[in-house]
Amino acid sequence: MLTIVMPMTMVTAGCTKVARCVSTQTDLLSTRSWRIGSITKTSKKPSVSKLVEKAATDLQRLVRLKAADAVGFCECVSCGARNHFTKMDGGHFFSRTHLRFKLYEENIHPQCKRCNMMMSDAKVHERYRCYMIDMYGEKRVLAMHRLLNWSKPKFKRDAVLELRKDIKRQIKELEERYE
Ligand SMILES: [Zn+2]
């Protein structure tokens, strides 16, 4: 048996006559097998860290959508610049290098690309800090600071899948506003 990573669309688009998905799974993230001629190929389950990356990307889209107005515009929390949510970043108050804050919604808000790239600049960071305190209160922000000292979280596959499913559901609902 060979092991490959291959999205179903690649198989069905190119090899409709010789390849068919033989899995009964409906979740794209599950292990799948394809039969091509007499060879069965099985795709690997993505690693938990890859799932976390995907969920983090989705979460960044969700926070921008939540902040967007009726025409899809939102404001940078650091400088106030307005732009369409698709052209903004989901900026992290505590860097996403801290794994704990990668999937922590309160840590992510719309930022223009310039401010997001300049979070090491004291002024840009301070403006984000002021936004955090206005939004959540000083006690809450200090509590988040304390979490930096905790050990790295270990994400469980099922929990990340469930979280991503919920994030995608919310994205779908919010995007319907612009259809
Ligand atoms: Zn900005």
Per-residue pLDDT, averaged over 29-49, amounts to 64
**pLDDT per residue over 69-127, tens digit each?**
999 999 999 999 999 999 999 999 999 999 999 999 999 999 999 999 999 999 999 99
Domain count, the chain: 2
Distance between Cα 74 and ligand 1 center (Å): 11
Is residue 141 a contact partner of residue 91, using CB atoms and an 8 Å limit?
A: no
Which pLDDT does position 29 carry in this prediction? 38
Which pLDDT does position 179 carry in this prediction? 82
Distance between Cα 174 and ligand 1 center (Å): 23
Q: Are residues 14 and 81 in the same domain?
A: no
Distance between Cα 80 and ligand 1 center (Å): 6
Distance between Cα 26 and ligand 1 center (Å): 41
Per-residue pLDDT, averaged over 37-41, amounts to 60
Mean pLDDT computed over every residue of the chain: 83
The parent domain of residue 25 ranges over 3-42
| 62, 88, 83, 114: CA torsion to nearest 10 | 150
pTM: 0.75
Confidence of residue 178 (pLDDT cuts 50, 70, 90): confident
Distance between Cα 89 and ligand 1 center (Å): 10
Q: Are residues 22 and 86 in the same domain?
A: no
Q: Are residues 153 and 77 in the same domain?
A: yes
Distance between Cα 168 and ligand 1 center (Å): 26
